[in-house]
Chain A
Amino acid sequence: DQQVKQNSPSLSVQEGRISILNCDYTNSMFDYFLWYKKYPAEGPTFLISISSIKDKNEDGRFTVFLNKSAKHLSLHIVPSQPGDSAVYFCAASARGNNDMRFGAGTRLTVK
């Protein structure tokens, strides 16, 4: 039972344009959401997070949007750069629970 879903296995974007990665979740108890970036042969690294009391969080070129009613979040990267090419994982956890659930990942290619 995948509680966090990333329905696009891959995304290709031109350098300088916007990349939008999407994530859906089913567990209404989730209230903390994170995005991780992973390069080949390395462990995932934390990128940006958002708690359920916010609907937007920005960090430089990266912005995460949360739509609680739709149980949907998205990561925007503007402008996209070749070094952003990696697999991006969405993750979620619930307050009081140390168990974090990850999506299957989206492979972003910036050309």
Chain B
Amino acid sequence: NAGVTQTPKFQVLKTGQSMTLQCAQDMNHNSMYWYRQDPGMGLRLIYYSASEGTTDKGEVPNGYNVSRLNKREFSLRLESAAPSQTSVYFCASSEWSGDLSGEQYFGPGTRLTVT
């Protein structure tokens, strides 16, 4: 089992360019998440998908869109990248009972630089 995979591992964008970060999990989890990690800020939730067909905003959704393509895949899109979006992006998945979220399993991250 690969767990949670993310592509690409590294990306450099110019201001105004767009890109999509891909994430896939093979653990049959129903919930998936996108976080960004910035120095001194920990991990901040961008968007999450509690189950296939649903998405919700997290703590810092502005400038991002997401798509839950199927149960396995959850993508994050930056329509017009800004330098403030320079960060490390993590995708995660978990089993959601409808009551409490189980522990989340994280991918290796995508390091994005916007110049």
Chain A residues at the B interface, C-beta cutoff of 8 Å = 2, 4, 6, 9, 32, 34, 36, 41-46, 49, 51, 89, 91, 93, 95-96, 98-105
Contact = CB atoms under 8 A, between A and B. Distances in A.
24 contacts: A6-B42, A36-B106, A42-B109, A43-B4, A43-B90, A43-B106, A44-B43, A46-B103, A46-B104, A91-B43, A93-B100, A95-B100, A98-B56, A98-B96, A98-B101, A99-B45, A99-B48, A100-B33, A101-B45, A102-B35, A102-B42, A102-B44, A103-B42, A104-B41
Nearest to B50: A98
Interface in B49-82: 50, 56, 58-59
B26 to A, nearest CB: 15
Nearest to B105: A46
B36 to A, nearest CB: 11
B59 A44 contact: no
Most chain B beta carbons < 10 A, residue from A6, A32, A45, A98: A98
A89 B42 contact: yes
B85 to A, nearest CB: 19
A73 B90 CA distance: 25
B42 A43 contact: no
A12 B56 CA distance: 39
A101 B35 CA distance: 10
Contacts of B98: 96
A83 B43 CA distance: 23
A99 B61 CA distance: 13
A97 B103 CA distance: 13
A95 B100 CA distance: 5
Nearest to B40: A104
B45 A100 contact: yes
A89 B33 CA distance: 17
